[in-house]
Structure 1
Amino acid sequence: MTIAAMELFGLKDRHVLITGAGGGIGRALVATFQAAGARVSGADRDLSLLESLDLVHRLTFDLTDPTSITREMARLDEADAMPDVLISNAGFTRADMLDQVDTAAWDNELAINLTGAFHVATPVVAAMARRGGGAIVFIASVNALAHYGNPAYSAAKAGLIAYAKALAVERGAVGIRANVICPGSVRTPAWDHRFERQPGLAAQVLPHYPLGRLVVADEVARAALFLASPAASGITGAVLPVDAGLTAGNYRFVKDVIEGSA
């Protein structure tokens, strides 16, 4: 980055905590924020997922276990290391349809994707309020905006949007900004393996995306950096899709029905 770009988009010496840091999007987030000059800490469910990353602090907790979250966040607080920026990225889903969702599946998806994120954010927000400000970015999903399957996951991610807006409205006066990114399907090795196993799958999936492709993890990470940076200092309570145009409209309908009948 140039000096001007670093001033606008950089986070030199700011402390950033990224949950789900050991996953595909998480690793892209770590690299992107480090390149912007931030000091990065990471959290994940297993320490082995973080071992290869250059992190200031490594936190391990299960998002379904509030006690483990409280313990690790207290440890960070005791070290006077609560973050200036929180990227709430950790999440999980199964490929369920509505008739496959029982009470256990519903409770588990909400515990991981919504309640767990709340338990992580709560002490961070308190520390940011004492400090006089901070930035939070929640990684939700296009499933929060429209239905693409996975109903329990979708409900949880929609809840993240509501929670972020509550933080934006009720904590803005103390300098805290909260925003949400909604990725579409992200091209990870898992998708590559699926395309290899099912040669016709790409032809079914990609026509739904106006850009004709899936987004990659670096694109999600750069959007998060923007929302966390001084470049977005006036933005809070916003929802930013990073989805290759999926939620802009029904491209497949336009091509098959409108153009096809013209």
Structure 2
Amino acid sequence: MTSPTSHGEPGLKGKHVLITGAGGGIGQALIEAYNGLGAIVSGADQERRLIETLPLSNRLVFDLNDKAATSKAIDDFIADRGVPDVLINNAGFTRGETLDQVDGDVWEQEIATNLNGVFHVTAPIVANMSKRGSGNIVFISSVNALGHYGNPAYSAAKAGLISYMKALAVERGRFGIRANAVCPGSVRTPAWDHRLQREPELLAKVLPHYPLGRMVTPDEVAQAAVFLSSSAASGITGATLSVDAGLTAGNLPFINDVLGD
């Protein structure tokens, strides 16, 4: 089990880190952050083209909606490369922004990707980490797990991740496993570029909800994950860390519009 170092080093040099959703904006920031600390970084995504050119030691390709393919990919990876020291469950997906856009198919797809698929990645890795006696899991959840900001099915899945994280922290802690979650608010990834091209006025609607007056960056989310997986957080497990520019701290528009002068 990783222990704090005398010089404040994060204890991640030479550690094997597996990142899902590695090809996305947050995923690429995670790769850069862990590589910068000397970790051995493996990445997974649903299409090889998304991770082909990224600085990864190993690449896994599977669809989280496909239980059999996910399980086989993880089992083969463990057999070939060993059990990672750190698993970052970063992959996620949403399309149904309001209840009116969520039917049975949307619900099942988003739960399958954002919750069930994460379980099929995590369970075999945790089982092997437990046999080894050490391991670290970080779930990239969402502020949507903590309050309703739209995307009902995605929110339910991300809330489920927090419950699963706590179960791992409580029941697997005796095997040297730590599990924590990061809950980002709106993250300024390239995905926003397309939205802002369609709706240039959208940013002016979004930012007043954030006390810091801005969205967080992918690197800020990555640094929170690095902290939770590092020896600096060796006594932290079962915790949820919001990286949201203050969104969940309170309702700033209410203060400004109702109580303000």
TM-score by length of 2: 0.95
Partner of 2:244: 243
Unpaired runs of at least 5, structure 1: none
Cα distance in 2 for residues equivalent to 1:192 and 1:67: 35
Partner of 1:75: 76
Unpaired runs of at least 5, structure 2: none
Q: CA deviation at 1:53?
A: 1.0
Is the CA contact 1:89–1:139 (under 8 Å) kept in the aligned structure 2? Answer: yes
Range 133-142 or range 96-105, more displaced: 96-105
Q: Secondary structure at the match of 1:22?
A: coil
Is the CA contact 2:96–2:153 (under 8 Å) kept in the aligned structure 1? Answer: no
The residue correspondences of 1:33-112 to structure 2 (distance < 5 A) are 33-112=34-113
Is the CA contact 2:96–2:102 (under 8 Å) kept in the aligned structure 1? Answer: no
Which 4+ stretches in 1 moved above 6 angstroms?
none
Cα distance in 2 for residues equivalent to 1:197 and 1:97: 19
The residue correspondences of 1:1-262 to structure 2 (distance < 5 A) are 7-260=8-261
Is the CA contact 2:17–2:84 (under 8 Å) kept in the aligned structure 1? Answer: yes
Is the CA contact 1:10–1:37 (under 8 Å) kept in the aligned structure 2? Answer: no
Q: CA deviation at 1:8?
A: 3.0
Cα distance in 2 for residues equivalent to 1:88 and 1:190: 19
1:182-217 deviation digits (Å, cap 9, x = unpaired) = 000100122233334323222111000000000010
Q: CA deviation at 1:80?
A: 4.1
Cα distance in 2 for residues equivalent to 1:153 and 1:54: 29
Range 201-210 or range 73-82, more displaced: 73-82
Cα distance in 2 for residues equivalent to 1:210 and 1:91: 26
Is the CA contact 2:62–2:73 (under 8 Å) kept in the aligned structure 1? Answer: yes
Is the CA contact 1:6–1:36 (under 8 Å) kept in the aligned structure 2? Answer: no
Cα distance in 2 for residues equivalent to 1:212 and 1:23: 24
Identical aligned residues as a percent: 63
Cα distance in 2 for residues equivalent to 1:81 and 1:6: 29
Cα distance in 2 for residues equivalent to 1:176 and 1:141: 22
